[in-house]
Amino acid sequence: MNKIQDKDEKNKRRKRAILSALPALGMMTVIFIFSSKNAEQSNATSSPFAETALKAYEGLFGNDSLQQNSFSFIHHLVRKAAHMTEYGILAILIAFHLKVCKVSGWKLFGISSVASITYAATDEFHQLFVPGRSGQLSDVMIDGAGAVLGAAFFYLATQIYSARHHKHNQFGSISE
């Protein structure tokens, strides 16, 4: 390769790295915006999901099986599931960026997990300054569980893809 081609390739890699970071940065922004809502606004966001879950539960098991505080319990579960989901997605997006930057294997899993958990800790700290909200270590742990599951999902998906792709390249396709 000559120097011009080498420089062009470096610029392409740099551009891909920057573009691949944008989805993770977007997710971090979404998380920050949700965490900036005061307690009343935050509850208003998750209440419709809890109401839908409660109606589904009533449809499956009937009203007789419900306790008086069922809505608050289901609302709590919906909120925690949302925490796990958003940090699982964040970990996947960070892992995608790392994969584009040629990080792979356990290093990819570890970095995406730790980066997501670190962001969860900073998010809980941020919530200490939002009216009606509080930073909870238990939430960092729930967020972290979602992050580890997301990173594990991405890691396993890439391992399966690589194994199938390698096998396909090694033996050729069936139609050959």
Higher pLDDT, 57 or 155: 155
pLDDT of residue 132 exceeding 70: yes
Neighbours of 147 (CB within 10 A): 29
| Nearest residue to 53 via CA among 80, 79, 78 | 78
Angle at which helix 3-35 crosses helix 70-100, to 10 degrees, equals 170
Distance CA 151, CA 124 (A): 20
Q: Is 169 helix (H, G, I), strand (E, B) or coil?
A: helix
| Residue keyed to tokens 């419709």 | 48
Question: Of 12-16, 128-132, 133-137, 165-169, which range is least confident?
Answer: 165-169
pLDDT value at 173 more than 50: no
CA 42 – CA 147 distance, rounded (Å): 21
Longest dimension (CA), the chain: 76
